[in-house]
Amino acid sequence: MPSYESLFNAFVTLLVTIDPPGLAPLFLAVTRGMNREQRSQVSIRASVIGFVVLALFAVAGAAILSAFGITLPAFRIAGGMLLFFIAFEMVFERRQDRKEKISDVAITRDHIHNIAAFPLAIPLIAGPGAISATVLLSGTFAGWSAQLALVGIIFVCLVLTWLVFVLAERIDRFLGHTGRSILTRLLGVILAALAVQFVADGIRALMAA
């Protein structure tokens, strides 16, 4: 069983990597147009999917990537490219344009599930950074008891992430249409920069290897 210091360090590492406070405004942006019940469904589903993905990589992350011949830098580049696509749509409000062309179209269950899985669960919650940190931590948590402890730490981090999503949903009503539009564009620019950084780090790591 790992020491308390190792457990605490792992908790801090994963919490900082997942960055729940930083995900709160992104959650508001990607769930734009949804009501409270729909956002609640998205928050729960995204947290569960994120937990399953990170727990899976905590137990068998290195084996999964090597089985497909995928390196962590390559995974980081792919995640960055996908994230940039989402950022592009946020900046130019392509999603909103599509909604305005088709009036009175309800948000379907499939749409809710898709948003929860991508981009919230992957790559925002369980992104290249969080997966990389999980795989690296799993190497220092040898044995089933240690791996279960790491899975428990991931669970706590995802519960905290879900709580942040719940609080973020309540903030939305104070923003209004103009506030949401400004926030979406600003976050899109930030996401684009983050995506470029993911790709740059991945390329740098590939060249170093």
Which two three-digit tokens encode residue 140?
A: 């220092």
Q: How far is residue 127 from each of residues 8, 23, 61, 76, 164, measured CA to CA in Å? A: 21, 12, 13, 8, 18
Is the CB of residue 17 less than 8 Å from the CB of residue 131? Answer: no
Q: For all residues of the chain together, what is the average pLDDT?
A: 82
What is the percentage of the chain residues whose pLDDT exceeds 90? Answer: 24
Domain segments of the chain as ranges: 4-14+27-208
Q: Is the pTM here over 0.75, yes or no?
A: no
Averaged over 38-45, what is the pLDDT?
Answer: 92
Reply yes or no on whether the pLDDT at 41 is more than 60.
yes
Q: Which phi and psi angles does 70 have, rounded to 5°?
A: -105, 135
Residue found by looking up tokens 């981009």 in the block: 119
Q: Residue 148 corresponds to which amino acid?
A: L
Is the CB of residue 149 less than 8 Å from the CB of residue 82? Answer: no
3-class DSSP state of 143: coil
* Pairwise CA distance, residues 185 & 169, whole Å: 18
Which two three-digit tokens encode residue 203?
A: 């390329």
DSSP class of residue 13 equals H
79, 155, 163: which is closest to 119 by C-alpha? Answer: 79
3-class DSSP state of 169: helix
Reply yes or no on whether the pLDDT at 186 is more than 90.
no
